[in-house]
Amino acid sequence: MIKDHDVVVLGAGLAGMRAALEAARAGADAAIVTKVHPIRSHSSAAQGGINAAIGETDSWESHAFDTVKGSDYLADQDAVEVMCQEAPRDIIEFEHMGVIFYRGPDGKLGTRAFGGASQARTYFVGDITGQALLVTLYDQILKAGVKVYEEWYATALHMEDGACRGLVALEMVTGELHLLRAKAVIVGAGGLGRLYEPSTNALICTGDGYALAYRAGAPLMDMEMVQYHPTTLAGSGFLMTEAARGEGAYLLNSLGERFMKRYAPNKMELAARDVTSRAEATEIAEGRGLDGNVLLDLRHLGPDVILRKLPQIHEMALDYLSIDMIEDPVPVRPGMHYQMGGIKTDVDGATAVPGLYAAGEVACVSVHGGNRLGANSLLDTIVFGRRSGKVAADYAKNTPASTGGEVLLRSEQERLRELLSRPYTGETNAGLRLELATMMDKLVGLYRDEAGLLEALDKLRGFKKRYQTIAVGDKGRVFNQALTFSLELGYLLDCGETIIRSAIVRTESRGAHTRTDFPERNDAEWLKHILLTCRGEEEPELSYIPVTMTRWKPEVRTY
C-alpha cells in the first residue's frame, strides 16, 4: 500500500515524538513510523534526569561550559549554546504538559546533582525521568491526533533526485510492505547499543536509523565516541542511574576505599562518565575489583532517600541480583551505554541529504562531542526534536509531493523475498550477533589500540561475508521477528564498521575514545570531527570538519 504525508518521523522515542508533535503544530500532516509501540521506546529507560540552567544562581553559559568540557572539547560550541539557552523553556514546556517534576519547598522545580556539572541543575521525577517524559509526550501525541504506524519496521529510505522522500516499512502484524511517501523524513530512531555485549540498551536499539541514513548518503560523524556508563549492574548490565551518585552514593574498591579520590579529587564520584569508567577499569585491572566489578554504596543515604528518589534501581538490584541496596553495596562495572556520534546534522536537524532530518541519539549535532554528560541526552532529544520538527515542516511546505517510489517498494519486496528463501547453512543471526557484539566490547570498547582495531576491522569484514549467507529461520507472514532481526543485524554491521574505521583514524585519546597507543589528547591535530560517507560496496569516504569554537578554548580537563 502507498500512503502520503508531509512529514514522516522514524522512531517514537522522545526525539521522534517531539519532532512529530512540533511538525503537527506547524501545520504539517505528520506521521510516526515505529517498530515498537511508542511507550516501549528506550527513552523510558533514562532514569536520572534532564539538565537545564533554570535556578537563579545558574547560567546557560555555565551549563554550556560544563558540556563543552565534558565533551573533551569535541562538541560544536554553537550547537551547545543553542541547547543550553533553550533548555529551560523546553523543560518548562514539559512541566506545562504535565510532567510531575520534583519540587523544592517553594513549589518551584527542584534539582539533584549530576556528573561533570558545576552546579546541581538536573530536574527529575524519582529515577523514572525518561518514562515520565515519554508517557506525557505520548499522551500529547494522542491529544494532537498524530498518526502512529506502530510495529512498522523500516527497511529503506525512499530517495528521489538525491532527496529523501519517504520510506518503505514492513507492517509486522500483516507482513505487508508499505511505501510511505513524504516531503521530509525525520530520523529519531535511537541508539545502537546491541552492537555491544553487554550493554545497558534495550534489545530494540539496533542502529536502524544510522544505517538507513548512511546508506542513503548522509555522513556519520564522531562514530568512534561510544560511551561506557560507570555503573551498570553486574551480570545483566542493566543501568544503575548516575542519580545514585548524584544523591551521594560512593564508589568503593575491594579495599573499601573511595578510589575516585585518586582520579578526580574535586568531583570524586561525580566526575564525567569517561573519567569514572576508566578509573573503575584501572582499579579492576590492578586487582582492586571484585569479580570484575567495583561497589556502588548507597547505604549511608538511608531507606527514605533510596525508596523515594531511587525506587526503580532499588527494585532492579533486588530483582536481578537479590541485593537490597539499603543493606548492602551493589556490584557494578562500566558498560556500553550511549553513542555520542551519529548522523551529522546542523542545529535544525538538517543532514547533508535534502529532505532528511535527524534528532536524538541517532543524530550528531554535535553537542556531546567525545563524552556526553549525564542528563544531557534527554535534553538533546527534546530541544533538537522540536527544532527538527519545525524546520522539516517548513521545508515540506515548499516541497512538491513525491509521486514515485513504486520501484523501490518492488525491489524491497524482492530483497525480503530473497532473504526469506535462503537455504539454511548452519549460521544463525543470534550466533553472529553475539560474536560481533562480544568482539566490539573487547576490541572497540573502553580501551583501544591500533592492532586491536585492525583485527576488529578484519573480523567485521568476515562477519559481513557470513551475514550474506544467513537464512531466516521463520517463513511466517505475521510478526516474523526472525526476518526483522536479520535486517537489524545488517544495520549493526554497518554501524560497527563506521565505529571501527573512525577509531582507527583518530590517533589520540579524547573523551570516550581512549587509545593506549596514543594516550594523550592532541589538540594541534585532532580538534576536528571524523565523517564517513557510504560509497556502496566500496570503502567509505573519509573527511574531516573542524570543531566549531565560540568562546571556550581547550584546557586541561580535570575533575
Partner 1 sequence: MQFTIEVGRYSPDGTYAESAVPGAPFPAPWDRSPARRYQTYTVDLPEHAVVLDALIAIREYQDQSLAVRCACRSAICGSCAMWINGHSHLACKSKLSAFTKDGKTRVESPPSMPIIRDLVCDMKPFWDKHLAVKPWLQNKQPVPPPNEEYRVSNASMEELIQEVSCISCSACLMDCESFAVNPDFLGPQALAQAYRYAGDPRDAETKERLAEYSKPGGIWDCTHCYECVTQCPKGVAPLDQILKLRKMAVDAGFTNNAGTRHADAFAESVRESGRLNELTLMPKSVGFFNIVEQIKTLPSAFNLIRAGKLPPLIHKKIPGVNRIKTIFERVGGRFK
| Grid cell 541543575 in the structure block, residue | 121
Residue among 360, 363, 389, 391 at smallest CA distance from 376: 360
324 binds partner 1 (CB under 8 A): no
- Looking at the DSSP assignment, which residues form a beta bridge with residue 363? 343
Q: How far apart are CA 305 and CA 303, in angstroms?
A: 6
3-state DSSP assignment of residue 219: coil
44 binds partner 1 (CB under 8 A): yes
Question: Nearest distance from residue 130's CB to partner 1, in Å?
Answer: 9
322 binds partner 1 (CB under 8 A): yes
Judged by CB under 8 A, the chain residues 342 through 371 that form the site for partner 1 are none
Region binding partner 1 by CB under 8 A among candidate stretches 75-83, 198-206, 241-249, 519-527: 198-206
Crossing angle between the packed helical segments 481-505 and 450-467, to the nearest 10 degrees: 150
Give first-to-last CA distance, the chain, whole Å.
56
Nearer to partner 1, 62 or 136 (CB): 136
Q: Are 53 and 88 in contact (CB under 8 A)?
A: yes
Q: Which residues, at least 6 apart from 63, have a Cβ–Cβ distance to it below 8 Å?
A: 51, 52, 53, 84, 87, 117, 121
Q: Are 460 and 436 in contact (CB under 8 A)?
A: yes
474 binds partner 1 (CB under 8 A): yes
Residue among 211, 447, 197, 155 at smallest CA distance from 342: 211
128 binds partner 1 (CB under 8 A): yes
The pairing of strands 50-51 and 122-123 is antiparallel
Q: Are 506 and 513 in contact (CB under 8 A)?
A: yes
Nearer to partner 1, 302 or 476 (CB): 476
Question: Nearest distance from residue 217's CB to partner 1, in Å?
Answer: 30
DSSP label of 163: E
Judged by CB under 8 A, the chain residues 86 through 105 that form the site for partner 1 are 88-89, 92-93, 95-98, 100-105
Q: How far apart are CA 547 and CA 373, in angstroms?
A: 18
Judged by CB under 8 A, the chain residues 151 through 180 that form the site for partner 1 are 173
Region binding partner 1 by CB under 8 A among candidate stretches 139-147, 354-362, 525-533, 543-551: 139-147
221 binds partner 1 (CB under 8 A): no
404 binds partner 1 (CB under 8 A): no
218 binds partner 1 (CB under 8 A): no
Q: How far apart are CA 111 and CA 490, in angstroms?
A: 42
53 binds partner 1 (CB under 8 A): no
Nearer to partner 1, 97 or 527 (CB): 97
Q: Which residues are catalytic?
A: 229, 245
472 binds partner 1 (CB under 8 A): yes
DSSP label of 230: E
Q: Quick one: which of 176, 286, 291, 319 contacts partner 1 (CB under 8 A)?
A: 319
39 binds partner 1 (CB under 8 A): yes
Judged by CB under 8 A, the chain residues 247 through 286 that form the site for partner 1 are none
Q: How far apart are CA 218 and CA 353, in angstroms?
A: 6
Q: Quick one: which of 262, 308, 535, 551 contacts partner 1 (CB under 8 A)?
A: 308
3-state DSSP assignment of residue 429: helix
Q: Quick one: which of 473, 523, 533, 549 contacts partner 1 (CB under 8 A)?
A: 473
Q: How far apart are CA 527 and CA 547, in angstroms?
A: 6
Q: Measured in whole angstroms, how far is the alpha carbon of residue 447 from the centre of its chain? A: 20
Nearer to partner 1, 98 or 256 (CB): 98
Q: Are 383 and 87 in contact (CB under 8 A)?
A: yes
Nearer to partner 1, 117 or 125 (CB): 125
Q: Cα angle at 416 between 411 and 420, to 5 degrees?
A: 145
469 binds partner 1 (CB under 8 A): no
Nearer to partner 1, 95 or 328 (CB): 95
67 binds partner 1 (CB under 8 A): no
198 binds partner 1 (CB under 8 A): no
Residue among 10, 19, 312, 9 at smallest CA distance from 137: 19
Nearer to partner 1, 143 or 261 (CB): 143
# residues contacting partner 1 (CB under 8 A): 66
Q: How far apart are CA 398 and CA 39, in angstroms?
A: 33
Q: How far apart are CA 139 and CA 3, in angstroms?
A: 24
Q: What ranges make up the beta strands (E) of 408-478?
A: 447-448
Nearer to partner 1, 235 or 265 (CB): 235
539 binds partner 1 (CB under 8 A): no
Q: Quick one: which of 476, 519, 551, 555 contacts partner 1 (CB under 8 A)?
A: 476
Q: Quick one: which of 23, 125, 216, 220 contacts partner 1 (CB under 8 A)?
A: 125
Q: Quick one: which of 67, 429, 509, 514 contacts partner 1 (CB under 8 A)?
A: 429
Q: How far apart are CA 520 and CA 516, in angstroms?
A: 9
37 binds partner 1 (CB under 8 A): yes
140 binds partner 1 (CB under 8 A): yes
Phi, psi angle pair for 338, to nearest 5°: -155, 145
**One character per residue 103-122, x = contact with partner 1 (rule: CB under 8 A):** xxxxxxxx------------
Q: How far apart are CA 384 and CA 391, in angstroms?
A: 10
305 binds partner 1 (CB under 8 A): no
Return residues touching partner 1 (CB under 8 A): 36-37, 39-42, 44-45, 88-89, 92-93, 95-98, 100-110, 125-126, 128, 131-132, 135, 139-140, 142-143, 173, 202-204, 236, 238, 308, 311-312, 315-316, 319-320, 322, 428-431, 472-482
